[in-house]
Structure 1
Amino acid sequence: MVSLKRFTDEVLQSAIETPQPDPEGTMVVAPAVPVGARRIPREEHCLSRRQISSGALQVLNTLHQAGHQAYLVGGSVRDLLLGREPKDYDVATDARPEQVRKLFRRNARLIGRRFILVHVQFGPEIVEVATFRGQGESAEETSERSASGRILADNVYGSLEEDAGRRDFTANALYYNIADRSILDFADGLTDLQAGRLRMIGDPEQRYREDPVRMLRAVRFAAKLGFQMDAAVEAAIAPCRDLLLEVPSARLFEETIKLFLTGHAQSSFDLLRRTGLFAALFPQLDRVLDAADAESARELLRLALEGTDQRVLLGKSVTPAFLFAALLWSALQAQRQHLEAQDKPANVALQQAAAELLEESRGRVAIPRRFALPMREIWDLQPRFTRRGGRRPYALLAHPRFRAAFDFLLLRQQSGEFVDHPELAGLGTWWTEFQEADSEGRKALMEQARREDAAPEAPLGPLPSNGLRRRPRRRRRKPSRLARVPSAADDASGNGTTG
């Protein structure tokens, strides 16, 4: 990668906030205002170049000096005007992707199929550069669409005015002009920002049909920014919800991650439920949550979402595996109980329910294998917390997924899932003490658990919390006198019998 060090002087020079006179003493002339745009001069807005990352500034300056139009656009402009730290920076330009790549050479790579973009990388920072999108009105430049109107391929280039018309929400159609430090507002987006209103550019239903993911984006922006969705934006969701079935399930997973793992999971969930979008993404879980006796399921989900938001706020790591394990746990339990009612063995019912649930999600929100496997481990370990005899607690403690499974157990207990099963109420406390105890303390805890399990009131039937039946203890067979004589290899490896 090319170092930013050689660009330092240029970036510092470009950070000056007022227009500079040229050698003849005249001021820099502001570019002509595009048709339909309102130009907000530098002195009338709060966005400063000093707030923009060095990488984004370098991309803007390089494009501008090469004779191209270059604008900071989208969420970065919106967030800076709201006093927030942008997560990333997007640049819009009239330069074609090949021209952008040529300007930045080894720092740039082309990505995307639906619309080709250029990622320009400076160290850990990636600046996304997009060529102005057009309306595709000519016969040779028509976007490829599905029967429902969804845009499938969109490599149609156009003017700045056309690009603004293709943006989804007014708050995302603000362009910061590197040439004169003004902001171009094509859809009264600054007024909507100040009012805390999320408004669509164009007819909301038509825009949803072009790209159904915009419904999820509406929820995400409203939750993230604390904005009120415009009445037309929300009303158009109901007739378009089923269009999400046309969206690739991998893309829906990515959008779901943005909804739930960026610090506003609880408010996103509330909006998804209110608009009916949660049922479109997780139909089986939505039915469970609507049941009258699902109080503990709703509470578990609330605790998981709030805990996720808290970890994001504190800068701690979050994993989709744990959150999705919590999201789908209640649906898993309902499916497991249904299978057990068909005389499936408890452990078989649990495994089959997990497989069926994940398979069903492939048609909605496809959970990648790298997250699905840890999810299933978290679920599979839950019944093992009730087995506290012999070497089993030590084996569970050594499991690589123990900590996540233990945290999940505490979440279940806190949600009230064990309220009708007093024999399980102290399970989380027992395992907490077992982790902290020394060798003698662990032996005492295991003896205590043995006495509790042997008590007459201990349940012998299926445990509603994990679906496992208590198995009778098997007698160890005495070794036959005709057993083979252990070899030297057995003695060396520790796998053979000893005389």
Structure 2
Amino acid sequence: MITKLLPTKKPVIRKRADHPVSRKDIDPQALRVLYRLSDAGYTAYLVGGSVRDLLMGRTPKDFDVSTDAPPNAIKKLFRNCFLVGRRFRLAHIVFGSKVIETSTFRRQPRENGDTKGGDDLYQREDNDFGTPAEDAQRRDFTVNGLFYDIKTFSIIDYVGGLKDLDSKTLRSIGDPNVRFREDPVRMMRAIRFSARLGFTIERKATQAIKRHHAEISKASVPRLLEELLRLFTYSSAEPAFKQLWKFGLLDDLAPEVAVFINQSGKLKSPLWEVLRNLDATPDSQNASAGLRLATLCYPIYQAKIKEANSNATAEGTNNLELARQTLEPFVKRLRIPKATFFTATNLLEMQTRFDTLSDKPAARRDRFARHTHFPEAFILWSITAHTSPEQIAVWTEVAARVKPAIHPNEAEADASENAWRVATGAAPLEPRHGFDGRRRRRPRHAARRRPDSTRETGRKETTQTP
């Protein structure tokens, strides 16, 4: 079963004099794409979140274009065009480091009778070309279904997005019970847009999320990880994860975090303060995936440290191993990349050193600050530690003065590598050579000594026969 298209209504057109969108606010490369398509005789619109943000007076992060030109025709118009994607055949028009994503107008796929009893609505193909009205109907939310016409400079609205934009309402296009099952990631997108824009999700959509949140397991794991990390953007991590927890999606994506929230006070859980502090950090927008993951897991990691310290033997607690144990379930479930796993484990393990080294000689603090992960470790410590202004001043001075340079040592890298491999089901590393576990290398100029008779000439002597 595929969603039936809603009856096509006459669009609402808001002329240039009635809206604030100006060409000077649109990326110049996006304008080049729009004008070249238009000059070639095609219809070309600026679409999606960029139109929404421009109408709200925000600066869009990306500018997307939709047109009635088929992908191959777009490629012929632009030498810097690359066609990508299987499910969505898109044209990426590359200008240096910038990409203008250009798509052909699409419609909902026709019914094919392949689903069993209408239970599985997940869309696996979406390459049926359509009209602008049909393209607007297949988008996720009304505020994302607005078009900007480069010919008339007007806003075209087929789905009621202008009205919802004025009332700050996030409304699904079509029945949310169907649309969220067609693409479960839309549930996460609804939460992200609501948290970022300050919009209220319509009641039908919230009920649909609570009813169908388990469908999220049908989405591809890379998309889930990408959307989970996007919840940290635009200083909206706290409201986003609160909604994720309230609607039940956190139980499916990160049950360890959901359990911790429920056991640590629910709305009074310490996780909310950590996320709130991260949102208030000026550099949070540029935080790495490792820092975002470490921030989400930090309260769980601290709980593990307290439990381990209460049961610690004379050998003490291995904080790095506890960090790996905290993150391993995420690696298994969300296939966390190796580099992200390494960064997050180091950031968590480094937290205790800030307190222990505060009153140590400056040389030891400087050595610690040269660690390659120190800048983000300092951010994590500053948003999680309840410490004195004097300590913060000490480490702020160190962070401003010392440039990071040192990478984790080989033993730590190997241990983290093996932890990641075990979590992903891969074979562990072979042990390094040498009695102390380190790989031994031959000296740079070492070579097998040749016999004295050949050392001078470099050639092997031949035996003369009489």
TM range (shorter): 0.7 to 0.9
Q: Does residue 93 of structure 1 match 2:67? A: yes
Amino acid at match of 1:237: I
Range with greater deviation from structure 2 (75-84 or 339-348): 339-348
In structure 2, stretches of 5+ residues that fail to align are 1-7, 399-442, 444-466
- The residue that corresponds to 1:72 in the other structure is 46
C-alpha spacing 1:331/1:148, structure 2 compared with 1 (3 Å): farther
Q: What CA distance in whole angstroms lies between the structure 2 residues aligned with 1:331 and 1:77?
A: 40
Query: In the alignment, what sits opposite 1:174?
Result: 146
Residue aligning to 1:328: 297
Alignment of 1:65-464 (within 5 A): 65-105=39-79, 107-137=80-110, 148-292=120-264, 297-298=270-271, 300-308=273-281, 310-311=282-283, 317-335=286-304, 350-385=319-354, 387-388=356-357, 393=365, 395-414=367-386, 429=390, 432-433=393-394
- Residues 406-440 of structure 1 deviation map (CA, whole Å, 9 limit, x = unaligned): 443343322xxxxxxxxxx66x8458548859xxx
Q: Is the 1:91–1:129 Cα contact (8 Å) retained in structure 2? A: yes
User: What CA distance in whole angstroms lies between the structure 1 residues aligned with 2:370 and 2:23?
Assistant: 52
User: Does the CA-based 8 Å contact 1:288-1:334 persist in structure 2?
Assistant: no
Change (3 A) 1:329 1:164: same
Aligned CA distance change for structure 1 residues 64 and 231 (closer, same or farther; 3 Å): same
Measured after TM superposition, the shift of residue 394 of structure 1 is 5.5
The one-letter amino acid paired with 2:152 is D
2 CA distance for matches of 1:411 and 1:39? 47
Counterparts of 1:189 and 1:345, CA distance in 2: 64
Q: Residue 49 of structure 1 aligns to which amino acid in structure 2?
A: R
Structure 2 residue matching 1:164: 3-state secondary structure: helix
- Distance, in Å, in 2 between the alignment partners of 1:226 and 1:346 is 50
Worse-superposed segment, 277-286 or 203-212: 277-286
* CA distance 1:61–1:199, change in 2 (3 Å): same
Does residue 58 (structure 1) correspond to residue 32 (structure 2)? The answer is yes
Matches within 5 A, 1:21-40: 36-40=10-14
1:91 match: secondary structure:
strand
Q: Which amino acid aligns with 2:368?
A: L
Shift of the 137–400 alpha-carbon distance from structure 1 to 2, 3 Å rule, reads: closer
Count of residues in correspondence between the two structures = 388
The CA deviation at 1:296 is 7.2
Structure 1 counterpart SS, 2:106: coil
Aligned letter for 1:359? E
CA contact (8 A) 1:304 1:326 kept: no
How many angstroms does 1:324 deviate by?
A: 1.9
Q: 1:431 to 1:250 in 2, by over 3 A?
A: same
Cα 1:386–1:82 shift into 2, 3 Å:
closer
Q: From the superposition, tell whether residues 173 and 406 of structure 1 become closer, same or farther in structure 2 (CA, over 3 Å).
A: closer
**1:378–1:126 distance in 2 versus 1, CA, 3 Å:** same
C-alpha distance in structure 2 between counterparts of 1:204 and 1:345, whole Å: 57
Aligned in 2, Cα 1:259/1:431: closer, same or farther, shift over 3 Å?
Answer: closer
Q: Structure 1 residues 149 and 359, CA, compared in 2 at 3 Å: closer, same or farther?
A: farther
Q: What secondary structure, in the 3-state scheme, does the structure 1 residue paired with 2:124 have?
A: strand
Residue-by-residue CA offset, 1:143-202 (whole Å, 9 max, x unaligned) = 99x963211232222222221110111111112222333322111111111111111110
SS at match of 2:61: coil
Paired residues of 1:143 and 1:152 also in contact (CA < 8 A): no
1:207 shift after superposition: 0.5
Whether the 8 Å CA contact 1:173–1:186 is kept in 2: the answer is yes
Q: Distance in 1 between matches of 2:251 and 2:280?
A: 23
Structure 1 residues 228 and 85, CA gap change in structure 2 (3 angstroms): same
- Displacement of 1:293: 6.3
**Cα pair 1:340 1:346 within 8 Å, conserved:** no
Give the match's secondary structure for 1:101. helix
Contact conserved, 2:176 with 2:208, CA < 8 A, in 1? yes
Kindly provide the CA deviation profile for residues 115-147 of structure 1, in whole angstroms up to 9, marking residues without a partner as x: 11111123443211011112222659x999x96
User: Structure 1 stretch 350-359 or stretch 154-163: which is displaced more?
Assistant: 350-359
**Cα offset for 1:75?**
0.9
Query: In 2, distance between residues paired with 1:50 and 1:406?
Result: 39
Mind listing any 5+ residue stretches in structure 1 that lack a counterpart? 1-33, 415-424, 438-488, 490-499
TM-score w.r.t. structure 2 length? Answer: 0.73
Does the aligned pair in 2 maintain the 1:115–1:154 contact within 8 Å? yes
Question: 2:105 & 2:124 partners in 1: Cα distance?
Answer: 18
TM superposition shift of 1:232: 0.7
**One-letter code of the match for 1:318?**
A
Q: Which amino acid aligns with 1:71?
A: Y
Structure 1 residues 346 and 328: CA distance shift in structure 2, 3 A: farther
Q: Is the 8 A contact 1:261 1:320 kept in 2?
A: no
CA contact (8 A) 1:340 1:349 kept: no
Quick one: distance in 1 between partners of 2:14 and 2:175? 26
What is the aligned partner in structure 1 of residue 16 from structure 2? 42
CA displacement at 1:36 relative to structure 2: 3.8
Is 333-342 or 117-126 further displaced after alignment?
333-342
**Is the 2:331–2:341 contact (alpha carbons within 8 Å) kept by the matching residues of 1?**
no
Q: Which secondary structure does the structure 2 equivalent of 1:150 belong to?
A: coil
Q: Distance in 1 between matches of 2:377 and 2:28?
A: 42
Change (3 A) 1:307 1:321: farther
SS in 2 for 1:136: coil
Structure 1 residues 51 and 410, CA gap change in structure 2 (3 angstroms): closer
Letter in 1 for 2:69: A
**2:106 counterpart letter in structure 1:** R
Which amino acid in the other structure matches residue 44 of structure 1? Answer: D
Distance 2:391 2:344 in 1: 24
Distance, in Å, in 2 between the alignment partners of 1:114 and 1:210 is: 13
